[in-house]
Amino acid sequence: MIFEHEIPKGSRLYFGKTAKAKRVLENSVCQILEEKGFEEILTPNFSYSQHQAIENERKLIKFSDEENEQVSLRADSTLDVVRIITKRLGRTTSQKKWFYVQPVFSYPSCEDYQIGCEWIEHTNISDILNLTADILRALQIEPILQISNINIPKLVSSELNIDLEIFKKGEISELLKLNCTWLDELLRVKDIKSLENILDKVPQKIKLELEKLLKKAKEVDYSNIIIAPLYYGSLKYYNDIYYRVIKDNLVLCRGGMYSANGISSLGFALYTDNLLKITEG
């Protein structure tokens, strides 16, 4: 039996102090983004399923339009924003810096609010990392900023002929079983100094990607940085250096470099509900 006061599991309700805290948080971040030259965009809640970037398509909430084409509720904002700007609005605006405040939806009835930005045709990842750091300081929090390079686990997988799924699942014990000295040391990297110490011990192709990671990490003005060269995240469109912000086992933000419609860009998404738990906790 469904009672009148019930809402579906995974959906969001804000009222009173919580609604005010959400509005204040969103306004604070939006003000920073506007000061940095970003303009706001709100994309449709509905999108054609083939435009979605979510890795597990079973999480899409799907239905059909009047032409029987498959439509889904927006499950991710990044590629939708870039697609709409470049394909639909390209002739009417030259703006490359955009931000949004809107929810994403996943099966069966989950909605998650995000504050995100996309910097189209820009490839200096340290700029978006420093922007993220500015926002964290403005919110008066100092969570872990974990910086990684998705090409490193891919190259290690190829070099040692091991399944990439090991990295996706974070199965460190399986990597230790390989008894590979340089890999063992790479697993222990956690900061800039330990990354510098291993550069001359790894195969050349991996060294080049580690040097790229090191260079960009050094350009970030933030005190709580963790380097995680072998981390492999779940968002399938990041293709180079990327990052996440973590506190108390909550992911507060994800961002990085990606390519959409042949255009290299940068972006991040702050997860509003997790930020509220930290800032209001």
Q: In this predicted model, what pLDDT tens digit does every residue of 49-101 receive, in sequence order?
A: 665 656 667 778 787 778 788 888 888 888 788 888 887 777 788 899 999 99
| Closest to 132 (Cα-Cα) out of 19, 260, 241 | 241
Helices and strands, counts by H and E, the chain: 10, 11
* Beta pairing class for 250-260 and 238-247: antiparallel
| pLDDT tens track for 201-234 | 999 999 999 999 999 999 999 999 999 999 998 7
Paired tokens of 60: 């899409």
The beta strands (E) that lie in the chain are given as 39-40, 46-48, 62-64, 70-73, 97-106, 110-120, 144-149, 225-227, 238-247, 250-260, 263-271
| Closest to 128 (Cα-Cα) out of 258, 267, 243, 254 | 267
In this predicted structure, the answer to whether residue 7 has a pLDDT above a threshold of 80 is no
From residue 167, how far is each of 39, 123, 162, 194 by CA, in Å?
Answer: 37, 25, 10, 20
> How many angstroms separate the CA atoms of 241 and 231, rounded?
11
Q: Read off the amino acid at residue 252.
A: L
Angle of CA points 224, 228, 234, to nearest 5°: 110
| pLDDT tens track for 26-42 | 999 999 999 999 999 99
Q: What three-state secondary structure class fits 201? A: helix
| pLDDT tens track for 169-203 | 999 999 999 999 999 999 999 999 999 999 999 99
Q: In this structure, what is the dihedral angle of CA atoms 130, 236, 58, 64, given to the nearest 10 degrees?
A: 90
Q: Read off the amino acid at residue 189.
A: V
pTM, whole model, 2 decimals?
A: 0.91
Quick one: average pLDDT of 6-24? 88
